[in-house]
Structure formats: C-alpha cells, structure tokens
Amino acid sequence: MHVLVLKSPGTWPFILSFFLTCINVFYVVHARLYIVRTGSILHAKVNLWIQIIVDLSVLTFVIYHIGVLETYAAFMYLFHITLVCLFFPRSESFIVIVLASALYILLIFVEVNQFTHSTGIYTNRDLKEDILQSPEIYYVNILLFLGIICVVWYLTKL
C-alpha cells in the first residue's frame, strides 16, 4: 500500500494561469480588431485554432507536471474536447480529438521510456515505479482515454 502525500506545486501554476489569461485576452482583442477592420471572420477562425493548439499544449505541460501515469489528469482534455465538439463541425472537432490523443500518447511514451523525469504531485515515487513495471496499467489507461473521448465526440454530434 502506498501513502500518497501531495507536494506543493510552487509558483508555476500561477505563472501559467497569468500567461494563459494574457494570451486569451490578446486573442479576443486581436480577433475583434480584425473583424472590425475587414468584416471577415476567416482570420478569427484561424486565431481560434491557434488558441486551441496553444491551450492544448499548455494543458499537456500541466498534465506532465501533475503526473501522466500516476494520476488521471489527462481527462482534463475532455473540457476542451467537449467545447470543441459543441461548437465545431464533426470533422474539425475530430481533428482536436486526434491532437489531444496524440499529445496524451506522446506523454505516456516519453514517461515510460524515461526521456525526461517528471516530478508529479506525489512525494512517494513508488507508485510511479510500480506502474512502470506493469505496462498493462498504462495500456488500459490509453484505451479508456481513447474510448471515453470517442464516446464524448459521438454523443455531442448526435
């Protein structure tokens, strides 16, 4: 049995929150100014796609630092996926699902092959070591993740 004690994250979540707030305000202002100047929403859509990619990248960074294998933080991708599925057509929302899935699988690949060493949120490293010794655990996590996001995608497009 593992005792799971959380570590203090430090200041990086607050710095990241401030960065995302500034970036999102910039996106809104930039899109509005462009629409007012040109009367076209095409550039606003490109702006929105850049915002989605940046948000997914930052979310991937957060999931990496929280812990890819020892937590279920990857399900935070569902917030983005659900919103995209509600507001975008089926083909465009599927692109976001593929991107989020690829980022999550890449994180697991990096973690399992120990290309880098994420600290995670738990002080006890034994849980992560046990998971690394049992590959069926992360294979099941990948399948559950992919299954759940596909169900969300399908149900929001009915």
In a domain, 75, yes or no: yes
pTM of the model: 0.85
In a domain, 137, yes or no: yes
The per-residue pLDDT for range 132-154, each reduced to its tens digit, is 888 888 889 899 999 999 999 88
In a domain, 21, yes or no: no
In a domain, 38, yes or no: no
In a domain, 99, yes or no: yes
Question: Which range of residues forms the domain containing residue 116?
Answer: 52-156
Alpha-carbon distances, residue 140 vs 60, 143, 146 (angstroms): 20, 5, 10
The per-residue pLDDT for range 25-39, each reduced to its tens digit, is 998 888 888 777 887
Domain count for the chain, please give it. 1
In a domain, 113, yes or no: yes
Q: What is the pLDDT of residue 1?
A: 59
In a domain, 91, yes or no: yes
Burial classification of residue 66, based on how many CB atoms lie within 10 Å of its CB (0-12 exposed, 13-18 middle, 19 or more buried): buried
- The H-or-E segment that residue 83 falls in is helix 77-87
